[in-house]
Amino acid sequence: MMTELFSDAGMRRLDAIVQPGMLCVFDFDGTLSPIVPEPDCARLPSEVRERLMALATLAPVAILTGRSLTDVKKRLGFEPHYVIGNHGLEGLPGWEGKSAEFAAACDGWREALFMAMRDKKRFDPGIRIEDKRYSLSVHYRMAKNTKETEARLAALFSKLTPPPRVVDGKFVFSLMPDEALNKGSALLQLMAQSGASGAIYVGDDVTDEDVFRLRRPDILTVRIEPHADSAAEFHLPTMPDIVRLLDELVRRLARPSQDPTPRTSA
């Protein structure tokens, strides 16, 4: 059972992890930005942006998202130290060599999906395919019958070649190459490359469970809203509580006894 982060136990864990050199890592949709019916309408709220900018003067800040780099950067309104897109496929040094292979697989999937979607009797017109170059997101929030659409999409994905790794989220399926990093392995690589002494990671969805399942003492994991099946160590009661968490991080890192972490390039 997850414990609320703002409990006594949560505050003690926060005190223990917040140290100079720590890495502050956040998912975007549903964590820093509210979930919206149309993904293209998502933006970083001003109260969240202001606190992230303050936090970035005290510790390295990273955004680790399923969105592409091009997409998410225009929604931030500030420059974090690191922006990792496509669940780890973009923004991490060392994975550039796989890019062409991953892009080719996604091209094939996209064409197959578009061909199948021509059958309007089987596939709801509300389905939207988001091409992220190295992965695909298939949104079905606007479908009339989401349960039926979910089942038909899952059957369609099982016929794709090469077989994708399919991760289901909130009315969205993410299709990624089987060899692709997940958010957990991406975070570990980022920590190693940045030399971080520890990290806090905040997320809200199925794709964030790859981080939550790491269960490492040097990584504090926080989920937005409690969920019985989540492996996260702690939870925030609601998404707007991210503002209070950011305030708690800034307050601890700004203590006179702690030297601000120098800003590094992404």
Question: 70: number of CA atoms within 13 Å, CB side?
Answer: 5
- Rounded distance, CA 229 to CA 263, Å? 37
pLDDT of residue 167: 86
Classify domain 96-176 at the CATH topology level: Alpha-Beta Plaits (3.30.70)
Classify domain 3-95+182-253 at the CATH topology level: Rossmann fold (3.40.50)
Nearest to 182 by CA among 21, 49, 64: 64
**Cα-based distances in Å from 191 to 108, 200, 249:** 33, 11, 18
Active-site pick, 27, 124, 205, 208: 27
Q: What is the pTM of this model?
A: 0.77
Helix (H, G, I), strand (E, B) or coil at 187: helix
Q: Which two tokens stand for residue 95?
A: 């994975």
pLDDT of residue 266: 41
pLDDT of residue 232: 97
- Rounded distance, CA 173 to CA 103, Å? 18
Sign of CA dihedral 139, 207, 93, 135: negative
Q: Is 218 a catalytic residue?
A: no
Mean pLDDT by runs of 10 across the 266 residues of the chain is 93 94 96 89 95 97 93 95 89 71 90 95 94 91 94 96 90 87 90 93 94 96 95 97 98 72 43
pLDDT of residue 15: 95
β-strand 82-84 against 128-131: which pairing, if any?
Answer: unpaired
- Rounded distance, CA 207 to CA 39, Å? 16
Other Cβ atoms less than 10 A from the Cβ of 1: the count is 5
What are the domain boundaries of the chain? 3-95+182-253, 96-176
